Structure 1
Amino acid sequence: MNYRLKGASGPMTGRTFDIGDGLTIGSAPDADIRDAALESRHARIRVDDDALVLEADGPVEVNGEAVRRRALESGDELRIATLRFVLQAPGLKPARVLEPVEAAGSGGRWGWLLAAGAAAAAGAAGWWFLLGPGGGAAG
């Protein structure tokens, strides 16, 4: 499978980087993805028996969890310093997208109704304080 990283923040937003047999992220001149704020060989993604493995020498988060070594899946979010990437397998939806999501049901409608009722009550209270008994209207 042909994986790629897609930039999701900062100067890398929208750019894609094919992983191929592997990819290096760092500040070294020969890094595949370069950023001066990173260590020279900050992180590597390599293919190991048809699986992708991240190996990091510097701070890296995958899906919000700090890691040094981890197997990767399509849809994983990598945060490296101020850079953010999403791992993509073209033509394959991330596993998290494929998991069923529980239906919200009618409970979500009550929240909106309660919010609208609270806004109406606040408006009525404001009107009463400004224009109610002893307010701006003379009788």
Structure 2
Amino acid sequence: MFADPPAPQPLQPGETPPSSATAGIPSPDTATAWEFNPDYQRLVMAWRQVLPELDRLTGSLDRAYHLAKSKDVWDAPVSGRYVEDMGEWRTRLSLYRQAILTSISDQAADTPRWVPTNAGAPHAFS
């Protein structure tokens, strides 16, 4: 079993954008406004949508696997083959879960949380 990678963190209450590196009175050339990166927010939302579905799939398969292993449910020679198949499905699902969550986590690590914007400037297609 793998441990889940770190989840992208949503905007926290009271979180502020990075401070400007320049000191003194800002000029129009150096003044920068910041906004929480919409691409990072989409990664947070993707994580929140995917994780419950993966948990649901894992829970359903685990429940069926444990029932199939029980001799109270099925005591036939062929049952061993089905238990082995379900074990392989569980392994595949675990690898699939790890790949999806790692992909989102890695992308979030490479995506800045805050992006500069020009205050009052119009945005195309917004």
* Rg (Cα) greater in structure: 1
Higher RCO structure, 1 or 2 (CA under 8 Å, sep 6+): 2
TM range (shorter): under 0.3
TM value normalised by structure 2 = 0.26
Structure with the largest fraction of strand: 1
TM value normalised by structure 1 = 0.24
